[in-house]
Structure 1
Amino acid sequence: MLVLGVGFGLVLGMALAGCQAEEQALAASELDVAPLEHHFVEADCPAERCAEVTVEALHFPDAPALSDDLRHRLLTLGQGFSEEPVQAQASDSWETYAEAFFQQARAEREFAPAHGASQAVLQASVVERHDDLLIIELNSYVYHAGQAHGLPMTAYMVIDERLGQVVTLDEMLLEGQAPAFQAALFRAHEQWLLEQEADSYFVGFWPPVESRNVAPLAAAWAVTYNVYEIAPYAFGQPTLHIPLSELEGIARPRYLSSSQP
């Protein structure tokens, strides 16, 4: 009996230690996120026409590779690319981006009206954090002097904190379920059209398009389109929502909130 008691005690102790280690690992998996800000102003330019670049981003003090990834994605977005980074054209630092932007602004002043100034705003913010998923929204707004309006763009960056890395839409879906996901997205688009009370002309001129700009939120998956993708500029950047119930059997359970009903 004494031997059994010791053995049971050892097993129980190991189990408790394992639970404590698991809790510590889960706690350690949460990334430290900190704000990062820069403000660049063009030098040697006409009064009230100096271009500006404002950065309101984030970085990960303990994960420099993720910080580099976020910076690259945001700089790429600021050059008009929403999804796949274009390595040959993307700047590699905030300073490089600002200098290139100022150089373009100087060239544009020769043809732009004698008022207004070019500006670029690059922002990153945490949209939601649940189930060890960190969903970050990247936004850019770029206006060149003389244009009728600026160009806003949005992209999501989804970090699986258990893995410590960014995950793509393909990695969030079960194998072979990409077509089923797009079908669910198109159903969400139909619902959006009803909410907009869109007429037949609008429906015909602005058909649904596939998207990979997905945020797996706790209540639903959000899919944000950029201007001119599914609607005129005046509609802004429409965000469609796919209910979690429609994603069962399509998305990996890991990326469907554990708190859903």
Structure 2
Amino acid sequence: MRLLKLAALGSLCLLLGACQNLFKPSLDEPLPARHNAFEHLRAGCQGEQCPLFNLDTLSFDDEPALNEAIDRQLRELARSQDGAIPGSLDIYEKRFLDSAQPGWSSYLQAKIREQHDGLVIIELSSYRFTGGEYGEPGRAFINYDRRLHKVLTLQDILLPGQEESFWKVARMAHQAWVLQNKLDEQDPNFSRDWPFQTTPHFALTFGSLTLKYDIDRIAPHSVGHPELKIPYPRLNGIVKPYYFPGRGVQ
């Protein structure tokens, strides 16, 4: 009897076009995430100087493309100094702990930054310390479109032929960031020594589009990972209206 009821419900939802709302979160509801976090020390090691590997990540039911993208991006953040990307996070963990010196550590994290308009914005972080004064931090974004079940590139969100205009607007956001933080006042040579550059890290955050920079890219190490904010009204005619907050979900 229960199977008959489910079959009848399935037929009804097909007629009404409501299957997604009945069986999956609708696009205006947050996509639930499964959290997976652990920290492993080198086997048999004891004490504060034991090498460690820490992973804090997410997975999503019914979104295999997003899960694959998170895994791939974390592995890219874990690439070796020669640029090689590990075949899996398990392989990376084993190689790191097997070769690590006392005090070495590696952290990888994926977290939800925002969800809105059928988009899931994932921010990814890494930090690897292998001696010296500083460790090696890394950052990345994933902009995932739940309607298309794909990770968006910059070209996906821009209107045709508008990439140059996009970076002109980003340059203006950089100038505003320098002024707001009084960086030229602190260092008269700041704009000369740390000029504007493009970045692969963008996020379709709700209040404004966010550009994030790797450390030592457009500012000294002490500044950390700078973020530039571009209000969406400045992107009229540049970004597809479909990706403006509030316009995507009908």
**Both structures adopt the same fold (TM-score exceeding 0.5):** yes
Alignment of 1:251 with 2:234, yes or no, is no
**Aligned with residue 149 of structure 1, among 130, 134, 139:** 134
Task: Give the distance between the partners of 1:242 and 1:151, measured in 2 at CA.
Answer: 27
Alignment of 1:229 with 2:217, yes or no, is yes
> Is residue 78–residue 86 contact of structure 2 (8 Å, CA) maintained in 1?
no
Quote how far apart the aligned CAs of 1:150 are.
1.4
Q: Which amino acid aligns with 1:177?
A: Q
**Aligned with residue 230 of structure 2, among 242, 251, 261:** 242
Q: Secondary structure at the match of 1:127?
A: strand
Q: Secondary structure at the match of 1:191?
A: helix
Show CA shifts across 1:20-74 (max 9, x none).
Answer: 4575588455644211123221125574332111000011232334312211211
Q: Secondary structure at the match of 2:178?
A: helix
Task: Give the distance between the partners of 1:254 and 1:24, measured in 2 at CA.
Answer: 25
Q: Secondary structure at the match of 1:154?
A: strand
Q: Secondary structure at the match of 2:183?
A: coil
Distance 1:176 1:229, change over 3 A: same
Q: Give the structure 2 partner of residue 176 of structure 1.
A: 161
Q: Secondary structure at the match of 2:210?
A: strand
Task: Give the distance between the partners of 1:195 and 1:205, measured in 2 at CA.
Answer: 18
**Aligned with residue 208 of structure 2, among 220, 232, 247:** 220
> Is residue 241–residue 247 contact of structure 2 (8 Å, CA) maintained in 1?
no
Alignment of 1:140 with 2:126, yes or no, is yes
Quote how far apart the aligned CAs of 1:255 are.
1.2
Matches within 5 A, 1:176-215: 176-199=161-184, 200-215=188-203
Task: Give the distance between the partners of 1:22 and 1:154, measured in 2 at CA.
Answer: 33
Alignment of 1:121 with 2:121, yes or no, is no
Distance 1:141 1:53, change over 3 A: same
Task: Give the distance between the partners of 2:62 and 2:150, measured in 1 at CA.
Answer: 13
Quote how far apart the aligned CAs of 1:164 are.
1.4
Q: TM-score under structure 2 normalisation?
A: 0.83
Task: Give the distance between the partners of 2:160 and 2:168, measured in 1 at CA.
Answer: 15
Q: Which amino acid aligns with 2:84?
A: Q
Count, aligned residues: 231
Deviates more, 1:71-80 or 1:147-156: 71-80
Q: TM-score under structure 1 normalisation?
A: 0.80
Q: Give the structure 2 partner of residue 6 of structure 1.
A: none
Identity %: 30
Q: Give the structure 1 partner of residue 9 of structure 2.
A: none
Q: Secondary structure at the match of 2:54?
A: strand
Q: Which amino acid aligns with 2:139?
A: T
Q: Which amino acid aligns with 1:100?
A: R
Task: Give the distance between the partners of 1:237 and 1:206, measured in 2 at CA.
Answer: 14
Q: Give the structure 2 partner of residue 74 of structure 1.
A: 74
Q: Give the structure 1 partner of residue 87 of structure 2.
A: 92
Structure with max Cα Rg? 1
Q: Give the structure 1 partner of residue 149 of structure 2.
A: 164
Give the RMSD, CA atoms, in angstroms: 2.7
Task: Give the distance between the partners of 1:236 and 1:35, measured in 2 at CA.
Answer: 27
Quote how far apart the aligned CAs of 1:94 are.
2.2
Task: Give the distance between the partners of 2:163 and 2:183, measured in 1 at CA.
Answer: 27
* Structure 2 unaligned residues grouped into runs of 5+: 1-11
Quote how far apart the aligned CAs of 1:92 are.
2.5
> Is residue 72–residue 91 contact of structure 1 (8 Å, CA) maintained in 2?
no
